[in-house]
Structure 1
């Protein structure tokens, strides 16, 4: 009886962990946007992974656990790490020029891409209703980006690249969850990204102007590491299509932080487009619940 009860609670626990993860990601983006106003974006990306690795080494006491980097799928782990790096680079480059609400609205297309390619990669196929929701959600993203209107900022391409990278990161996380430990996944991705980003980060290095900036650089590792650890734990408890729509809760924290920290007020097109995308994502969630029942 307890096993069936635990199985029934697992999706709810996974959803709670996912919501906490996306709150961490919102704090990460807001911190990064503040930092890239005075420091090179690539330096902030590199320090995000450096601080992540240093803090994780201390928390997990890696020197006492030599097997923490052991994995049965090293190629997938490395590819996953580069997907995370690509998502971070694209996002940190974009937030220098765009509002947090704008970058988040474009990133909202990730669950649709996840749903579309979860079939061939994970065997979790989308039906015609899901595909209809995917198309509608994509229209919402186009409204935010406004291509061809002359108003589309060129930096939006960074957000698109970040979105695609993140979608594959989410799928690879699901593939590896339950096979490799959450700790090893967290450490391997951070170490690979840190080493890969070191040449670029060092080449543009600029001394942080204050202790406050140093502290914020350390916080990027805290927010990023904790967020991805929570996401990994959630992915082990529930399928990707169940968790993907809950990324839309992030729009609340992103808009709030954008307004409180930077005084950004979302444009009308951002509000309309984000609303369409959120509604499409909620429909995907509804179809998942109907299918399960």
Structure 2
């Protein structure tokens, strides 16, 4: 099937995706504040795995075709990495809040750009290296080491960003031989199995109200991934990817309005620098592509 390139529709779908994922993050922050993070992510993955398998069944060849890969180790590593990254990021929400966690995590496209050279052998020119350097100045401004007592907790979303960048690089590597449908299938199923093996040990009874929030969390996860699939079907990734930064805006609004979080000046300045550097790297990649 030839991919269309309806950029206006793609942008609308990406904005909707970021909004739904921001709601998911808010729900994760609430539930992980009341229950064990590993259990919350496990239940979320059960729904995600079921969604992935339902999508695979509807494709030509069904589950067997979706699961077929010549690089199972790469796909398994991808799935485990993403599952663990989500656990770390949700933990960051409870420790730092949505605003600061997303502010630091926003640097992950710069990490992808920086690591794409040594890991994938892609060419990274001096302009993109300069943008990466500027972006990490923004990260340092947010972390503000040396000013008062450095908060070690700020390194948690940075670790999540590094893991997500590694997951992104593995996804690019896997795409050389596997279809996006195959990678999507392995992401959901491997993540579901990984979180079940870990999360069952931390099961806690939930109240009826929180089960309602849990169902909402699972639905937002499925809806967000469905919107993202539709987005990339509608338009090429390079055209819509810059709008993914809106998740930072939406998540910050949720953090401020519902959880009483605040945006400190250093976080605001650092975010502006990181986003500007990230948009420049996207522009360079699209121009060279």
The interval holding the TM-score normalised by the smaller chain is: 0.7 to 0.9
Residues 168 and 99 (structure 1 numbering): CA distance in 2 closer, same or farther, change over 3 Å? same
Shift of 1:135: 0.7
- Alpha-carbon distance in 2 for matches of 1:13, 1:288: 22
Shift of 1:216: 2.5
Q: Select 1:284's aligned residue among 278, 281, 284.
A: 281
Conservation of the 8 A alpha-carbon contact between 1:182 and 1:233: no
- Alpha-carbon distance in 2 for matches of 1:79, 1:264: 35
- Alpha-carbon distance in 2 for matches of 1:106, 1:232: 26
Residues 265-293 of structure 1: CA deviation (Å, up to 9, x unaligned): 2111111111111121222234345546x
Match of 1:48 in 2: 44
Instruction: Write out aligned runs for 1:92-131 (5 A).
Output: 92-131=90-129
Conservation of the 8 A alpha-carbon contact between 2:69 and 2:182: yes
Q: Select 1:216's aligned residue among 185, 206, 213.
A: 213
Q: Partner of 1:159: helix, strand, or coil?
A: helix
- How many residues are paired up? 285
Q: Partner of 2:34: helix, strand, or coil?
A: coil
Match of 1:84 in 2: 82
Q: Select 1:185's aligned residue among 183, 186, 194.
A: 183
Residues 95 and 31 (structure 1 numbering): CA distance in 2 closer, same or farther, change over 3 Å? same
Q: Select 1:166's aligned residue among 160, 164, 167.
A: 164
- Alpha-carbon distance in 2 for matches of 1:175, 1:238: 18
Residues 175-206 of structure 1: CA deviation (Å, up to 9, x unaligned): 33474344432332122122222243122211
List gaps (5 residues or longer) in structure 2: none
Shift of 1:118: 1.8
Shift of 1:233: 6.8
List gaps (5 residues or longer) in structure 1: none
Name the TM-score, length of structure 1 as normaliser: 0.83
Q: Select 2:24's aligned residue among 17, 23, 28.
A: 28
Residues 45-80 of structure 1: CA deviation (Å, up to 9, x unaligned): 111111212344456557992313222321211111
Shift of 1:107: 0.8
Pair 1:257 & 2:242 matched: no
**Which range is displaced more, 280-289 or 156-165?**
280-289
Residues 33 and 84 (structure 1 numbering): CA distance in 2 closer, same or farther, change over 3 Å? same
Conservation of the 8 A alpha-carbon contact between 2:113 and 2:281: no
Name the TM-score, length of structure 2 as normaliser: 0.84
Residues 219-275 of structure 1: CA deviation (Å, up to 9, x unaligned): 333333444455567678756x76654432222111111122212221111111111
RMSD of aligned residue pairs (Cα, Å): 3.0
Instruction: Write out aligned runs for 1:132-211 (5 A).
Output: 132-177=130-175, 179-210=177-208
- Alpha-carbon distance in 2 for matches of 1:228, 1:185: 13
**Which range is displaced more, 61-70 or 179-188?**
61-70
**Which range is displaced more, 215-224 or 55-64?**
55-64
Shift of 1:161: 1.5
Residues 53 and 289 (structure 1 numbering): CA distance in 2 closer, same or farther, change over 3 Å? closer
Residues 149 and 77 (structure 1 numbering): CA distance in 2 closer, same or farther, change over 3 Å? same
- Alpha-carbon distance in 2 for matches of 1:216, 1:60: 27
